[in-house]
């Protein structure tokens, strides 16, 4: 690459310094070099066509629709005896037939078989019965630098598989992206050249183009396609591809290497990498790591944030062994060989089995409901009991501080634990003066196991709130007093059906705030995503009328963003989120009971919002929608799903299967079939059930 850089520099000096050549001449030289590079690499770039399988995939925040099994895509020969690497995205539709065309080999396509998939880098190895296939040289990773030319090659539009593939020119924008796994380029990439290569000015392979995202979960082969033709593309370095090729040839899928912890803070860049949760049965637990440990070093590299830890672990696979140094209290400890596990380490939130009283300014958590058969029930906890201390060791229990509401502090602690943990709780019984310590073994969240659909409570206590949402919190430190509150006349928020604009003034949303709204009660918020063409004020007024009684009885505010185009698309997420956040600034909203709700495309949007904005949403209530792109569960950000499908809806089977897939990721998920209905809205009975589900989202 250095040699060619000198050649280009000499050309520039020769063409501009002498004044004998024009800029046109320089462009012609560059164009020839690019075409020569593509022609050199071209023989090893193959065309892949799939036949059969699922026909339609919709993904990405721009709402792109990709019809798979109808068009060709790209792959790269990595071994002369018939092995070809490509993007796992090309087989998202699980096609039964894969055909490969190789330039200059035969006019008849070769049938290929899948060998293995690298589920960390989202690559698939396929094999054709052929010998003597051309293999292009590659560029070592250390020789790839920012600013170098890069040429993205593809075969999707090349009907005759000619000597030169299609080309898109760019530069290397960055290296070590997507937690160390990828090269970033501004060359245009798309589903048509996923699986194809990026090459340098000499025609040497730099990497394999794949859709990747730093937020993509395991098996999420669509993660990153939102950057389709955006000037942000990724490629796995060819050196890394070839390094795992022998393992893939054995026919076993490669899984991302997992430590099995969740960090205490969601700030990946500024907060210290302090462990919040250690998963049961994980490598971390087996190695002796515990909540509260602070990671100091991984693979002999110092780390001060979770982002740095993730960057080191991002390139590791199941079975790889790592070194870890950490701090526990005043002691510095080291694990010299910790073997990472695969995707079987799944984050699952712990369940005690209580509903807390809301808007409670006092220290601790007062119980308003105990779930029958739950750990709390088995431990003898009762309605009216107040939890005042908690921990794993009876001799070292934690007291509530009053810095945040008791139920929030208690939930933060539960989120550091997993099902199966034994906990100790110091409880003040209703009407009693002394504390009593009880033990409980935490369970799985209702609905979070694939084989156990779970139930929604049939009845809830009428009183849920102390109606003190604006009252100062009781503090545990007697030396600190709450600031004196000066009584002032605060303008009361508007109520009724309100037409508003997002802060940028570009998008409309409508609120329904029932006239008796009380700011001392924390309200649920439903973000309603109306059906296509049903976003007029009259339409939303009618929907508010349908929900009016429920809003009054259950203290709910409706936030209804308006979409006047062809239906909800993920690219509209930002203004939907902006509308919801503006509502939370003005009204008293319980952040544990904010959900997205819709039918059809609105239901799909609701699911998208829940997964991609889980700092805001705590659940999705969807009708006639399937969860096809399920992201990994996050310990500190609980999500719940309630899916409805009509038995006459062609999607109903997929909706039911979505519930199972969600539970496999350990999300609390519930599915209900509506008899003799197609893709229709909820019945009155369904609405009542959905309300009970909403009212239990703050369960602990």
User: What's residue 343's pLDDT?
Assistant: 65
User: What's residue 230's pLDDT?
Assistant: 56
User: What's residue 145's pLDDT?
Assistant: 93
Mean predicted lDDT score pLDDT of the chain: 87
Q: Identify the DSSP state of 230.
A: T
Q: Residues 216, 95: contact at Cβ < 8 Å?
A: no
User: What's residue 453's pLDDT?
Assistant: 81
Question: pLDDT band for position 67 (50/70/90)?
Answer: very low
Q: pLDDT, tens digit, for every residue of 646-697?
A: 999 998 999 999 999 999 999 999 999 999 999 999 999 999 999 999 999 9
- For residue 84, pLDDT over 70 is answered with yes
Report the 10 Å Cβ neighbour count for 248. 21
pTM of full prediction above 0.85:
no
- For residue 29, pLDDT over 50 is answered with yes
| Nearest residue to 194 via CA among 42, 74, 83, 102 | 74
Q: Residues 178, 212: contact at Cβ < 8 Å?
A: yes
User: What's residue 469's pLDDT?
Assistant: 95
User: What's residue 265's pLDDT?
Assistant: 79
User: What's residue 62's pLDDT?
Assistant: 39
At 177, which helix (H) or strand (E)? helix 177-180
Please indicate whether residue 70 or residue 141 has the higher confidence score (pLDDT). 141
> What's the rounded mean pLDDT across residues 510-515?
97
Residues forming a β-bridge with 283? none
Q: pLDDT, tens digit, for every residue of 487-498?
A: 445 568 899 999
Q: Which of 211-215, 275-279, 316-320 has the highest mean pLDDT?
A: 316-320
Dist CA 576 CA 503 (whole Å):
11
* Least confident among 60-69, 585-594, 599-608: 60-69
- For residue 23, pLDDT over 70 is answered with no
Dist CA 430 CA 440 (whole Å):
19
* Least confident among 50-54, 247-251, 355-359, 693-697: 50-54
* Least confident among 159-173, 188-202, 369-383: 159-173
List, in order of start, the domains of the chain with CATH numbers. 41-249 (2.40.10.120), 261-339 (2.30.42.10), 350-444 (2.30.42.10), 496-695 (3.40.50.1820)
Question: pLDDT band for position 15 (50/70/90)?
Answer: very low
Q: pLDDT, tens digit, for every residue of 388-445?
A: 999 998 988 999 999 999 999 999 999 888 899 999 999 999 888 789 999 999 999 9
* Least confident among 210-224, 383-397, 554-568: 210-224
Question: pLDDT band for position 214 (50/70/90)?
Answer: low
Tokens in use for 178? 């997507």
Please indicate whether residue 60 or residue 99 has the higher confidence score (pLDDT). 99
- For residue 124, pLDDT over 50 is answered with yes
User: What's residue 52's pLDDT?
Assistant: 75
> What's the rounded mean pLDDT across residues 606-620?
95
Please indicate whether residue 103 or residue 381 has the higher confidence score (pLDDT). 381
User: What's residue 345's pLDDT?
Assistant: 64
Q: Which residues fall within 8 angstroms of residue 150, CB to CB, at 6 or more apart?
A: 169, 170, 171, 172, 183, 185, 187, 198, 199, 200, 206
Give the CA distances from residue 46 to residues 104, 187, 372, in Å, rounded to whole numbers and listed in that order: 11, 19, 60
Q: Identify the DSSP state of 597.
A: E
At 91, which helix (H) or strand (E)? none
As a whole-number percent, the residues of the chain with pLDDT over 70 amount to 88
């Amino acid at each position: 690459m250095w040699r060619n850089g000198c050649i280009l520099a000499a050309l520039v000096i020769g063409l501009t310094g002498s004044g004998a050549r024009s800029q046109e001449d320089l462009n012609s030289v560059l164009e020839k070099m690019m075409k020569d590079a593509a022609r050199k690499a071209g023989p090893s770039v193959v065309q892949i066509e799939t036949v059969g399988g699922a026909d339609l995939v919709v993904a990405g925040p721009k709402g792109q629709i990709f019809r798979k099994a109808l068009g060709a895509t790209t792959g790269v020969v990595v071994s002369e005896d018939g092995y070809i690497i490509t993007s796992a995205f090309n087989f998202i539709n699980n096609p039964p037939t894969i055909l490969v065309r190789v330039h200059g080999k035969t006019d008849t396509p070769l049938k290929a078989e899948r060998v293995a998939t690298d589920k960390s880098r989202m690559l698939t190895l396929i094999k054709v019965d052929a010998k003597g296939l051309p293999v292009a040289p590659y560029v070592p990773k250390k020789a790839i630098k920012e600013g170098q030319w890069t040429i993205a090659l593809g075969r999707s539009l090349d009907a005759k598989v000619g000597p030169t593939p299609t080309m898109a020119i760019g530069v290397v924008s960055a290296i070590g992206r997507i937690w160390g796994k990828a090269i970033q380029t501004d060359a245009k990439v798309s589903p048509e050249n996923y699986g194809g290569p990026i090459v340098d000015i000499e025609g040497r392979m730099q990497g394999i183009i794949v859709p990747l995202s730093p937020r993509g979960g395991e098996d999420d082969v669509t993660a990153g396609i939102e950057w389709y033709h955006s000037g942000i593309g990724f490629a796995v370095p060819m050196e890394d591809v070839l390094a795992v090729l022998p393992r893939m040839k054995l026919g076993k899928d490669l899984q991302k290497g997992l430590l099995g912890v969740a960090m205490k803070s969601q700030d990946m860049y500024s907060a210290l990498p302090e462990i919040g949760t250690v998963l049961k049965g994980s490598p971390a637990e087996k190695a002796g790591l515990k909540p509260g440990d602070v990671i100091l070093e991984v693979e002999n590299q110092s780390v001060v944030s979770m982002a740095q830890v993730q960057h080191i672990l991002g390139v590791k696979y199941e079975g790889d062994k790592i070194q870890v140094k950490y701090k526990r209290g005043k002691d510095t400890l080291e694990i010299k060989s910790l073997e990472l596990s695969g995707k079987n380490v799944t984050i699952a939130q712990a369940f005690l089995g209580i509903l807390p009283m809301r808007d409670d300014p006092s220290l601790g958590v007062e119980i308003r409901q105990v779930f029958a058969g739950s750990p709390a029930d088995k431990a003898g906890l009762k309605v009216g009991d107040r939890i005042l201390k908690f921990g794993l060791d009876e001799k070292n229990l934690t007291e509530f501080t009053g810095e945040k509401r008791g139920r929030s502090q208690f939930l933060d602690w539960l989120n550091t634990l997993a099902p199966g943990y034994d906990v100790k709780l110091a409880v003040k019984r209703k009407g009693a003066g002394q504390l009593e310590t009880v033990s409980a073994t935490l369970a799985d969240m209702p609905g979070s196991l694939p084989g156990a659909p779970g139930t929604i409570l049939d009845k809830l206590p009428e009183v849920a709130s102390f109606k003190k949402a604006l009252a100062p919190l009781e503090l545990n430190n007697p030396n600190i007093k709450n600031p004196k509150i000066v009584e002032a006349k605060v303008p009361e928020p508007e109520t009724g059906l309100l037409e508003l604009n997002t802060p940028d003034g570009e998008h409309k949303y409508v609120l329904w705030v029932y006239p008796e709204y009380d700011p001392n009660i924390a309200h649920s918020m439903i973000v309603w995503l109306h059906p296509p063409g049903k976003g007029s004020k009259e339409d939303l007024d009618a929907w508010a009328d349908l929900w009016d009684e429920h809003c009054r009885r259950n203290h709910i505010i409706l936030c209804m963003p308006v979409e006047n185009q062809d239906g909800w698309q993920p690219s509209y997420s930002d203004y939907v989120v902006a509308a919801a956040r503006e509502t939370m600034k003005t009204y008293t909203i319980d952040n544990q009971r904010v959900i997205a709700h819709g039918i059809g495309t609105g239901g799909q949007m609701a699911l998208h919002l829940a997964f991609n904005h889980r700092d805001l949403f705590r659940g999705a209530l969807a009708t006639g929608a399937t969860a096809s792109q399920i992201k990994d569960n996050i310990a500190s950000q609980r999500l719940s799903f309630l899916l409805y499908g009509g038995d006459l809806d062609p999607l109903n089977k997929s909706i039911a299967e979505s519930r199972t897939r969600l539970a496999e990721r350990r999300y609390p998920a519930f599915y209900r079939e509506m008899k003799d209905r197609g893709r229709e809205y909820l019945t009155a009975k369904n609405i009542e059930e959905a309300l009970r589900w909403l009212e239990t989202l703050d369960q602990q």
